[in-house]
Structure 1
């Protein structure tokens, strides 16, 4: 087998294929391969499940809105946008303070699992709302406590894995984003068709109940297995020599905590000024993808199809996240970045024109989903480039999320929920 792999590697295309699927290279010492397998089970399993639930809880508001929530709590007009504004405003506020907690070695193993319990409780609460203000409040609380999920997990991944290991695993982890959104669509369709009226609850309320039931057990997986940072106290499943090996693989040049010195040092270097504006532009280039459900509802599609048809876009996003990030470890990152830009720009141009055949609109939404490779590529590049500087990585990642979603909020306030006016004018 090893001779066959060597022959395949002699071909440039074969080398890429082998690198994509070779997670535990034969040239690694046996103890290092054993460590990687253990890290994958302890970090990647919880990270993927947690990220899946984060996006399940985040995207369920749109599925619920087009499945009866709008009518049941009189959430007309621009209410869906304001739900998202409440969520992302609090999401922005929570970025830097909660990321600062994630860089604390003693807190790092337990912060995300604890927040997982909070997400579950807040999700259960959303199933009982009867007034508009209650949903605004709950969406804001969900946004605040979900703030460190994305950046915090990236920080952890970049603290344990080298470049050739990191890109592959970040691609698999980031698929949880799209798969969570996709599953929410199928779940709402099933709840609407099968649970509406059961125990006196509407189908959209059952969506929040089921989401909470899925989320809660994952917290206990995190408490048992999530290792935090290499500088965190040794967890029960890591031997002393394994933890020392992990530290030697990615030595740190500074203390991991974010301090005022970190802020001053980071702003004096180019990485912050490159990555933050790039992320802001990337966020604005893709926010419109979430409006596909509203367009389908305005077109008169059934509730089931309104929830299911956008999931094909989520599927393309999941594929792009995995493939783009995995390939970024072995081929040109600028080439991949240009490719995702073309996908996003094509969709944005088509939907800016708007008065095009519906078939082309479907294609524009689905094709633009391929642009979702951008985020995991950018974050993985940051983690690799600043692998030995945990605090600077944490500050840059939280700054990207803060400023990126700050602009995301005001753009949404200028958008309309109801696309029927645009279609009929």
Structure 2
């Protein structure tokens, strides 16, 4: 009887969401003089303003915001966006350091003469897949958002340190599994938390910066390995590649401490934290209500059935799988090693690719908003076709080959664009949005766990003719999928517009909560959905 009662209580806890938990939190300012009234937004309908509209990606604190709102958003940037961005930075720093170590002496020191580099990725992907759905589920529970991310950051930092002490491939297999397991909460979980604090307009700017930091992490990993090899190789009996893991672990530890100090989690379970006072949290919750950010409801069989029989449940994860298949970050470094480039060049030259990818992730989502999702996405496809064809042909001037490697990372810019697009498409249900965003990431890593060792088998290094040829096929499949989803999303939007016309005939008293949400979501998401 006691066990049954305990399981029942735990079950009730699992279906209790943050919106229910937040009902008891205060909703009145302590400072009654606070004025949050906005002014009139500046008009940006001039010819030159439209041409250079992408510049507004850097307008994080619009002039029409009240003084209190500007200061509030700035503090949220420091406490939430900056921590999540730094965490995402360390994720890619700790993810790329293995490839950098491999081409800087680890291969020879550990006698790695087979396909071990790809198998390391397989164990990482398995851990990531195992942790993805549970992490995304628990991060919506009261009080979990803050500590889950901090604990996970700590674990992958410890694992990064542990890489400095490995002596066999088997040691790395175990470590990479736990790195993947602990990093599973990072991307979808942090995206969920960031979206809990910002309006849709603010979110698009922060999402670009957030993804930009992943590319910076890839770049910095190369520079750290290059510096560690030239300055620390042999120090205290440790090879340079081992020092890289120690340095990366220290950086991760600093980010963890920063998160412990300032990171609040979501606004729906706390009254104040660090630099965010009582009135900041009250205002944050008010903004969620005003912008009709859909809150989670309790799961039931009908909700689950509706989700799994939707086209989004099938096509959006499939699109994300294809997107992640169209890259192999180790290819350039392996090519440089085979050509006899110095250790410094093997680590530094690929940072150009990372820089291009970073800029792409920063700009592409905003360019899609300004110039149309379809147009910008087609440009990215054309560039990816071009770079893949160069690397398939292979026997081209070395400068052109470098161009092929460099331009292949323009594709990275579609990641934040498509992920936020998926969230907008699933606007009608918070449960659908949460589940599908988690499945997109989980399925892509599950697929990579077995496809990478096959598609990019190191016995075909550095040319990887089969790998780049398969890549080209995935680019074509991705283009077809994009067309289909774009059509279905546009069709769905037209259906929502017909619903809006029906809703607009109702009086305010007759509007249900769902009616209000649909009207608001249509207004906020219209451009992003159908462009």
- Of the three residues 229, 233, 246, the one matched with 2:287 is 246
Corresponding residue for residue 55 of structure 1: 92
Q: What's the CA shift for 1:160? A: 2.1
Q: Does 1:112 align with 2:131?
A: no
1:209-248 correspondence to structure 2 within 5 Å: 209-236=246-273, 237-240=276-279, 241-248=282-289
- Of the three residues 60, 67, 70, the one matched with 1:23 is 60
Higher Cα Rg: structure 1 or 2?
2
- Of the three residues 398, 412, 423, the one matched with 2:452 is 412
Mapped contact 2:152–2:185 kept (Cα < 8 A): no
Decide whether aligned partners of structure 1 residues 94 and 7 sit closer, same or farther in structure 2, where only a CA change above 3 A counts.
Answer: closer
Corresponding residue for residue 95 of structure 1: 132
Structure 1 residue ranges without an equivalent (≥5): none
Corresponding residue for residue 273 of structure 1: 314
Q: Once superposed, what is the RMSD of the aligned Cα atoms?
A: 2.5
Q: What's the CA shift for 1:77? A: 1.3
Decide whether aligned partners of structure 1 residues 227 and 9 sit closer, same or farther in structure 2, where only a CA change above 3 A counts.
Answer: farther
Q: What's the CA shift for 1:388? A: 7.3
Q: Does 1:317 align with 2:361?
A: no
Mapped contact 2:124–2:177 kept (Cα < 8 A): yes
Corresponding residue for residue 406 of structure 2: 366
Decide whether aligned partners of structure 1 residues 10 and 348 sit closer, same or farther in structure 2, where only a CA change above 3 A counts.
Answer: closer
Corresponding residue for residue 341 of structure 1: 381
TM-score of the aligned structures, taking structure 2 as reference length: 0.74
Q: Residues 126-157 of structure 1: CA distance to partner in whole angstroms, max 9, x if unpaired?
A: 10011221111101111111111111111112
Mapped contact 1:276–1:404 kept (Cα < 8 A): yes
Corresponding residue for residue 162 of structure 2: 125
Question: SS of 1:234's equivalent?
Answer: coil
Identify the range of structure 1 (364-373 vs 321-330) with the bigger mean alpha-carbon deviation: 321-330
Corresponding residue for residue 432 of structure 2: 392
CA–CA distance in 2 between the matches of 1:175 and 1:342?
22
Corresponding residue for residue 43 of structure 1: 80
Decide whether aligned partners of structure 1 residues 246 and 205 sit closer, same or farther in structure 2, where only a CA change above 3 A counts.
Answer: same
Corresponding residue for residue 368 of structure 2: 328
Mapped contact 1:163–1:329 kept (Cα < 8 A): no
Decide whether aligned partners of structure 1 residues 276 and 423 sit closer, same or farther in structure 2, where only a CA change above 3 A counts.
Answer: closer
1:78-227 correspondence to structure 2 within 5 Å: 78-227=115-264
Question: SS of 2:319's equivalent?
Answer: helix
Q: What's the CA shift for 1:355? A: 2.6
Decide whether aligned partners of structure 1 residues 421 and 338 sit closer, same or farther in structure 2, where only a CA change above 3 A counts.
Answer: closer
CA–CA distance in 1 between the matches of 2:438 and 2:284?
27
Decide whether aligned partners of structure 1 residues 423 and 387 sit closer, same or farther in structure 2, where only a CA change above 3 A counts.
Answer: closer
Q: What's the CA shift for 1:421? A: 7.3
Question: SS of 2:196's equivalent?
Answer: helix
Q: Does 1:67 align with 2:104?
A: yes
Question: SS of 2:330's equivalent?
Answer: helix
Corresponding residue for residue 476 of structure 2: none
Identify the range of structure 1 (83-92 vs 332-341) with the bigger mean alpha-carbon deviation: 332-341
Q: Residues 64-97 of structure 1: CA distance to partner in whole angstroms, max 9, x if unpaired?
A: 0011111111111111111111111211221111
CA–CA distance in 1 between the matches of 2:238 and 2:301?
50
Q: Which has the higher contact order (CA 8 A, sep 6+)?
A: 1
Mapped contact 2:268–2:285 kept (Cα < 8 A): no
Q: What's the CA shift for 1:35? A: 2.6
Decide whether aligned partners of structure 1 residues 7 and 311 sit closer, same or farther in structure 2, where only a CA change above 3 A counts.
Answer: closer
CA–CA distance in 2 between the matches of 1:33 and 1:386?
29
Identify the range of structure 1 (231-240 vs 300-309) with the bigger mean alpha-carbon deviation: 231-240
Mapped contact 1:175–1:322 kept (Cα < 8 A): yes
CA–CA distance in 2 between the matches of 1:389 and 1:228?
22
Mapped contact 1:298–1:418 kept (Cα < 8 A): no
Decide whether aligned partners of structure 1 residues 410 and 41 sit closer, same or farther in structure 2, where only a CA change above 3 A counts.
Answer: same
Q: Does 1:291 align with 2:331?
A: yes
Structure 2 residue ranges without an equivalent (≥5): 1-38, 466-531
Identify the range of structure 1 (406-415 vs 395-404) with the bigger mean alpha-carbon deviation: 406-415
Q: What's the CA shift for 1:228? A: 2.0
Question: SS of 2:457's equivalent?
Answer: coil
Decide whether aligned partners of structure 1 residues 245 and 254 sit closer, same or farther in structure 2, where only a CA change above 3 A counts.
Answer: closer
CA–CA distance in 2 between the matches of 1:151 and 1:103?
11
Decide whether aligned partners of structure 1 residues 202 and 19 sit closer, same or farther in structure 2, where only a CA change above 3 A counts.
Answer: same
